[in-house]
Structure 1
Amino acid sequence: MAAALLAACAATPGPMPEQDLAGPATVRVLRDGDVWTADYVLDRDAPAWLFTDSALTRVDNQPWRPRAFTVETPGVRIERRGWHDVLVGEDGVPVPRRVRIRFEPFSGNLLAAYDPALTFTDGSVALYSDQFDMRPLANAADADALPMDLNGVELDGEVVRALFRDQAGPVLMNGERRAEAERPEAPTYVLFGDVPVDETAHLAAVFDPELPAWIETELSAFTPRVMSHYADRLGAGQSARPTLMVSWAGPTPSLLSMGGSVLPGLVIMTFEGVGVLEPTPEVRAGARWFIAHEGAHFWLGQVVRYERVRDMWITEGGADILAVRALARIDRPMTRAPDCRRRWTNAPASAARPIHTAAERSEHQAYYACGAVFHMLAEPGAARTGGDVFTVVRGMIDANREDGILTADEWLAELTRVSGDASLAGDIRRLLTDGAADPAAEIASLFQRAGVAHEVRDGRVVLL
């Protein structure tokens, strides 16, 4: 009972400084022992607030926030409206200006989104900074009409000011320890805990203490090599000295799992399963390809990014092909990436329906498979003038460094310039918007006209 009373006292909101009431909407995220809280001070009366980051879980295509967030403020709840989670006041009354949410860091894998948390075996936790952002709505039902992709959508209000603090000591953000960290303009992860940071001239790394030792050794040595190759071929990247944050989800039986993503200046990775305990040639090759794919995003995804989620094929397919071509140069014995090649072989199946709407169907592999195939179409044309896919991608990056956006129109225009065949772009547009009744024949035709070596075997397009 005494422990319960102490926990209740720790969870009771303290008085909010008066100056906070006049500023922008703010959230203070606090870890106090095992208790995690997010205290909001909102800047206006609104019957609903939209969480701008509301992806579904990869395992069951369900919202993750209702499992992890508990609203402690009376008269407020979280509900799902359309593609988004929404904080609503009961009976249509405005959400109170002060709201407390108690939460458990959610480390499950999300569909094409950053995991809300990375958990480390020593108790350290890294929180994704933007999971706490909200915007006011005039009515909760307004969320029903919002698209899944909020890029380009005008929302009311400003980005919520987010502050992160750990009662146990400083938090780590962007490679620096701070008593209290304020979310920067670009999203990132904030690390709570004492897991050490290994720093070199080219890399700052945070490795889970229980991570199999060979993975730490491999990534520490190989990451700078592949990053250097990209810098040589693609010019200046988003970060000259990135941070690598690697968590370990344990030796789950019958599993070999590597997952990750990239944010400005940060690569995050999670390894899991008995399949990665030992560095077999196949597992080692997979780990190298994995970091090569994620590292490519410091250029194709960070220096330039896509305009809409529907254009994710530009960055994900591009990172796939850049990774494989980079490994062929710097790591010849390990050039094969079976998972990647399977994705490419499955491209016709992914193109049967419009690629633009793949995210709405939770078919994100379409962006990887079809995007890599589309990038391949530029390679024969580039080779005729002594170039390769790096030459093509660098041209696109350099042309768009100022605004940081690589649109589908710009990408397709460059393909036409390099290949000399405008029909390729026309057919790709049709696959993007309409799909194809016979996608294998469509892709085989694209390969034939572009000069990509291939065969059609039993209705399947096979790269040579």
Structure 2
Amino acid sequence: MTRGLAFVAMLMAGAAAAAPNPTERAKPGSPEPVMRAEIRDMPQAGIYRVGMTLSEDAPVWIFLRSGLARGSDASWRPEGWTVLTPGVELTRIGHHDALIAKDGGDLPRNIVIQFRPYTGLLEADYQPAMDLGDGSVAIFSDHFTMRPAPSIAAVQQLGQDWTPLPDYEGGHPVVSFRGDGFFDGSDYPGRFSLEEASYVIHGDIVPTVGPYMSTIIDAELPTWLGTQIEAETPQVLDFYAERLGPHESGTPELLISWNGPTPGTSSLGGSVIGDQIVMQIEGDMLVEESRGLGANARQFIAHESAHFWLGNLVDYGRPGDAWSTEGGADLMALRAGEAIDPEVGPRFAAAVKQQAWGSCLQGIEGGPLATAPERGLHSSFYGCGLLFSLVAEKAAQEAGGDFFTFWSDLIEANREGGTVSAEEWIAHYEAIGGSAAAAAFMRTIAFDRGGDFNTLSALLAYAGVSSPAGPRAAPSS
């Protein structure tokens, strides 16, 4: 199976959050991994142990992924992780979880940690584990990958992106799994290694393999919702493939967990990673069939499916540039929804655009999108990204194409490098005939000072796009 890095998106009662994109990591097949982690199941149910082998001496090793528990300002790891190696401490340094030596020296080269899988949602990161029912769990491998840092002070200076750390030559970590209950879809379950991030299943649950995808769906998920998702996901993938070409991510795997009918809730969380789409669903509002909630589920799965192209074929570079692919995936999902359900789709799209205005405005009033990760305003990537995407779509239509041709040209031009930066995205908008004034406003919002109601209104006015907020403010320079 292909195991590629992509992005995460989470919808909680209609809100969204973006994930930092790991950049400058060595490609799979690097001669020497920066570290190795081997995960084993233990005799006690629900307990696992990970042995970490570090490649070099350093006083600090930071985790690649250090998202906070959703709805809190705290790391999720201390809740279920116990360091068994004497003299080693799990701590939080700035935006990063880290291992340090209690005596201030270098860490030992071999460290053992015992853990229980954490199944809660995170802010702007992949869910660490998913309960799939029947005693089976999916564990996300990349939460065990690390890299060295020269000092605590160096880590304290970092934002959410760790790539500015000096003296790092690369080398992707290797995560191994050992135990009869582990399965990654290969011919050799029970013992295998991954150089690319993936959810790995532990338990007796068996995938259902169909012509378009393989699925593992919690048996307790409301039947109507599982049926809709299974039926519409192939339609969404075909819709995208006709417009963007093949996604090259292999046969998709769909993993869905059901957290139960939580009172007063309708919650969809999840992500796409390589060829896997994972979803965590809960809420009593989803027990009975609803066309409105069905449209929300359709948007969610279509957004995640779009990341097979905007994410797997090309990524966005720095964490603060996530608006390009997240907003792009949102607009592609809206267009897919309108095609699949012409009655509900347009009304749903109007509501999403209105919500995008509010989330974008909230994110940019305190600074540019580039600083949104450190300010904890990841949802602004989706809101502003969708508004920017509507601007790009308008220019593409006037040039004889649509939003899909806008992105297919970007993908083709950057396929080898694998990254479309935010500046390259805006430059492409200008190249196809987009408004220079609108491009200037997007640069201000994305990189410079952010903006306000009038800034957003002026951007859309110059681009010729109707504002979801109502009457447009007069354009200003």
TM-score (norm 2): 0.86
Assess if the C-alpha contact under 8 Å between 2:38 and 2:175 holds in 1. Answer: yes
Range moving further from structure 2, 86-95 or 333-342: 333-342
Look up the match of 2:29. Answer: none
Look up the match of 1:81. Answer: 93
Look up the match of 2:455. Answer: 442
State the identity %.
36
Q: Give the count of matched residue pairs.
A: 436
Larger gyration radius, structure 1 or structure 2? 1
**Secondary structure at 1:377 match in 2:** helix
Q: How does 1:234-273 map to 2 (within 5 A)?
A: 234-273=244-283
1:172 equivalent to 2:186? Answer no
Look up the match of 1:377. Answer: 391
Q: Give the RMSD, CA atoms, in angstroms.
A: 2.2
Assess if the C-alpha contact under 8 Å between 2:399 and 2:433 holds in 1. Answer: no
Following the alignment from structure 1 to structure 2, what is the Cα–Cα distance between the partners of residues 411 and 245?
Answer: 32
Look up the match of 2:363. Answer: 350
Following the alignment from structure 2 to structure 1, what is the Cα–Cα distance between the partners of residues 33 and 453?
Answer: 56
**Secondary structure at 2:124 match in 1:** coil
Look up the match of 2:176. Answer: 163
Assess if the C-alpha contact under 8 Å between 1:27 and 1:132 holds in 2. Answer: yes
The one of 104, 118, 132 equivalent to 2:144 is 132
Following the alignment from structure 1 to structure 2, what is the Cα–Cα distance between the partners of residues 106 and 274?
Answer: 23
Call closer, same or farther: CA 1:420–1:100 in 2, change over 3 Å: closer
Look up the match of 1:39. Answer: 51
- Matched to 2:392, the amino acid is A
Q: How does 1:272-283 map to 2 (within 5 A)?
A: 272-283=282-293
Call closer, same or farther: CA 1:322–1:47 in 2, change over 3 Å: same
- Matched to 2:421, the amino acid is T
Task: Give the deviation of 1:420 after TM superposition.
Answer: 3.8
Assess if the C-alpha contact under 8 Å between 1:126 and 1:190 holds in 2. Answer: yes
Following the alignment from structure 2 to structure 1, what is the Cα–Cα distance between the partners of residues 361 and 37?
Answer: 46
Following the alignment from structure 2 to structure 1, what is the Cα–Cα distance between the partners of residues 468 and 209?
Answer: 48
Deviations 1:195-249 (A, max 9, x none): 2201112111111122112222111111000000000011121325211111111
Bigger relative contact order, structure 1 or 2, given CA contacts below 8 A and separation 6+? 2
Deviations 1:159-197 (A, max 9, x none): 33211123xx2422256661212113x211111111220
Call closer, same or farther: CA 1:176–1:374 in 2, change over 3 Å: farther
The one of 436, 454, 457 equivalent to 2:467 is 454
1:363 equivalent to 2:363? Answer no
1:407 equivalent to 2:417? Answer no
Call closer, same or farther: CA 1:23–1:375 in 2, change over 3 Å: closer
Call closer, same or farther: CA 1:156–1:400 in 2, change over 3 Å: closer
Range moving further from structure 2, 270-279 or 206-215: 206-215
Assess if the C-alpha contact under 8 Å between 1:343 and 1:368 holds in 2. Answer: no
Gaps of 5+ in 1: 1-21
Following the alignment from structure 1 to structure 2, what is the Cα–Cα distance between the partners of residues 406 and 457?
Answer: 32
Look up the match of 2:131. Answer: 119
Following the alignment from structure 1 to structure 2, what is the Cα–Cα distance between the partners of residues 54 and 239?
Answer: 26
Assess if the C-alpha contact under 8 Å between 2:295 and 2:337 holds in 1. Answer: no
**Secondary structure at 2:343 match in 1:** helix
Q: How does 1:285-300 map to 2 (within 5 A)?
A: 285-300=295-310
Gaps of 5+ in 2: 1-31
Call closer, same or farther: CA 1:139–1:381 in 2, change over 3 Å: closer
The one of 106, 110, 133 equivalent to 2:122 is 110
Following the alignment from structure 1 to structure 2, what is the Cα–Cα distance between the partners of residues 23 and 377?
Answer: 43
